[in-house]
A and B are shown apart, each in its own frame.
Chain A
Amino acid sequence: MSDVAPRGAEPLVLKVLALAFTVFIVGYILVPILVTVAMSFNDAAMIRFPINVWSMKWYADFFGSPQWMDALENSILIAIGTAAISTTSGVLCAWAFQRFHIPFRDMWYILIMMPLFMPGVVLGLGVAIAFGGISIGGYAFYGSRELVMLAHSLWAMPLVFMLMEATFKTIDYRIVEASYDLGGGPVRTFFEVVLPLVSTGIVSSLLFAFVISLNEFVMALFLTDRDTQTLPVLMWLSLRSAGTPRLAVASVILALTVFTCLTVIMLWYIRQLRKVAR
């Protein structure tokens, strides 16, 4: 019985260990975030600690620079497009998996999920090779925002599909049957009964897809040109040349965009919960 715990002594050791680990993990996760936020308010042109003079100078610089504002605009447009494409296709596909018998179901499932496990650099390379020289009716497909949206959908769509597959399983199908019995066709039932039931899942899907696309930069690096490059791509390219506090501002703006969306979602959830409560 040598393993009997001497009570009292060990829990203290464990408590100290737990505390030390908590400090470590909180510090680890917060360090790059705090460094970035602090640096974005630096007045100097160099990345250098300590920060002596604080100012909003680099924010003004960011919003005054057409190059960076264009990149931000590209990022947001591409993210909106990705959210729309991947949510539409993912929701429809998940509905098909939920409601219909599909031959070779597992094979299709794996095929749809596979891009999610592919490194971005491989997907970017593949799409760049396959669509490198293609232009449709004089409009160059390569380098366009649409191509980046579709490439980002390779990651976003499987996620939406996975999320919606789980969501559709939670529906009370007696409501759907009731709609059919009352004469609602499959299309009308889907739009007027099913979609409102899973609205929370759809809003979450849109958010996921948006955030993935907004933050992604390896595929975008392969697929954009000077006019369509996204904010993360521009940040990556400038990091390679020289880092200035402008990059910190760009990081903060990117993160703020994500957190704004999150807040909107939170408000949406609260509203939905209130509706249910009423």
Chain B
Amino acid sequence: MTDAVRIDDASYETQRTAQERRKLLAPWILMLPALVIVLVFFGIPTVYMVRMSFNLHMDQRLYVPGFTFEHYVNLFSNPLFTNAILTTIKLALVASLATVVIGYAFALLVWLKPARWRLLFIGLALAPLLISEIAIIFGWWMFFPKNGLLSYGLLSAGLIHEKISLMYTEFAAFVGLVYVTLPYCFFILLSIFDGIDKRLLEASADLGASPLKTFREVMLPLTWTGILVAFSQSFIWTMGTYATPSALGPDTLWTMGFLIQEQMLGKHNWPMASALAVVLVIGVAAVMVVTRSMQSERTSFHV
């Protein structure tokens, strides 16, 4: 009798350890496909890219194995590259600021409007998100030039007397960039607004504050974190994007993304392209870290 119990105990034990082991192993099996994708197609390429950025480039070959800081030195001394870095930062800064201002006003509008308008506006904001960047570029590409809709419209309205072209200007690049990033900003800010009690506005007005003062002292502090997140999001996005500024902007508007493509596909200089990409990634990471540290603990917001 006691023997039987002992055997049962033993088999129960082995069963239990097997179960335990399975429990330990199960999450890894479930995570395996995702980890393979991230490690093989993101991890390994990143290591390769960093290594590549120290390789030599000569004799019109893609790269020659070696070790040199030449490309990084070049990156920070050659005016071609330093200008591109400055242009990228400047463009990202201005475009993100504009995106946040427009996105904020848009989100505020949707939040304040009666609910029946809401779905319509959200559908509108989704449009740029669902349309390919290339289609957006092409849309503006037909709007700005001399024979484009803008020129024709202004001419027919009698506002101008000669055809005008805004194509290949920094303004065109800027309009395109804001268009691409606006929906992200809008949805981040709308989600913040939705967490605010609208009665706060009435309370502030009842206490005698003007709309401007209510905005400055009630709305801004409550949405500050959202503004930061939206800003960093569009900054990261605009830093990395290159198609829109290079297609709509002037030929001199060389962003880092454009130079990466140019060095990789045009000049076949892989080490230089890699060095640019490494610096771009470091820039993106720096922006993320700075934004994270600027968010106060109390209002930390998860994206």
Contact = CB atoms under 8 A, between A and B. Distances in A.
B131 interface: yes
Contact of A29 (B27, B32, B48, B128): B128
A268 interface: no
Given A3-B210, A49-B149, A232 B132 contact: yes
Contact of A247 (B26, B34, B138, B208): B138
Interface string A37-76: 0010000001111100000000000000000000000000
A89 B33 contact: yes
Nearest to B137: A239
Interface size class of A (residues with CB under 8 A): 35 or more
Given A49-B149, A217-B132, A161 B34 contact: yes
B222 interface: no
B277 A93 contact: no
Interface in B163-183: 179, 182
A154 B46 CA distance: 13
B264 A125 contact: yes
Given A126-B45, A255-B135, A121 B240 contact: yes
B143 A35 contact: yes
A131 B143 CA distance: 39
B119 to A, nearest CB: 12
B27 A232 contact: no
Contacts of B7: none
Interface stretch (A19-27, A169-177, A198-206): A19-27
A235 B138 contact: yes
A50 B42 CA distance: 48
B134 interface: yes
A26 B124 contact: yes
Q: B35, B46, B140, B205: which has the most chain A beta carbons within 10 Å? A: B46
Contact of A93 (B30, B138, B141, B265): B30
Contacts of A111: 35, 38-39, 43
Contact of A89 (B34, B149, B209): B34
A182 interface: no
A180 interface: no
A1 interface: yes
A259 B123 CA distance: 12
B146 to A, nearest CB: 9
Contact of B48 (A1, A89, A130): A130
Interface residues of B, number: 81
Nearest to A49: B152
B208 A123 contact: no
Interface stretch (B9-17, B68-76, B241-249): B241-249
A170 B241 CA distance: 35
B37 A129 contact: no
Nearest to B36: A89
B152 A125 contact: no
B210 A4 contact: yes
B34 A92 contact: yes
A217 B137 contact: no
A18 B109 contact: yes
Interface stretch (B79-87, B192-200, B280-288): B280-288
Interface in B61-119: 102, 105-106, 109, 112
A47 B130 CA distance: 24
Given A35-B143, A126-B277, A129-B274, A5 B210 contact: yes
B219 interface: no
A1 B208 contact: yes
Contacts of B137: 239
A199 B120 CA distance: 26
Nearest to A211: B130
A156 to B, nearest CB: 10
A239 B277 contact: no
A33 interface: yes
Interface centre among A25, A30, A33, A131 (most CB of B within 10 A): A25
B41 A151 contact: yes
B48 to A, nearest CB: 4
Contacts of B31: 92-93, 96, 102, 108
Interface string A95-111: 11101111000001001
B240 A122 contact: yes
Interface string B266-288: 00001001100100110010001
A128 B127 CA distance: 31
A128 to B, nearest CB: 7
Given A125-B260, A215-B131, A248-B142, 16 more contacts: A4-B210, A30-B124, A32-B139, A32-B140, A33-B139, A100-B23, A118-B240, A119-B241, A121-B260, A121-B280, A153-B41, A217-B133, A239-B138, A239-B141, A251-B139, A259-B130
5 contacts: A21-B106, A32-B139, A88-B33, A112-B38, A235-B135
Interface of B: 23, 26-28, 30-39, 41-46, 48-49, 52, 102, 105-106, 109, 112, 124-125, 127-128, 130-143, 145, 147-149, 151-153, 179, 182, 205, 208-211, 213, 236, 239-243, 247, 257, 260-261, 264-265, 270, 273-274, 277, 280-281, 284, 288
Q: Which 9 A-B pairs have the closest CB atoms?
A: A119-B240, A32-B139, A126-B45, A89-B33, A100-B27, A215-B132, A96-B30, A93-B34, A251-B135
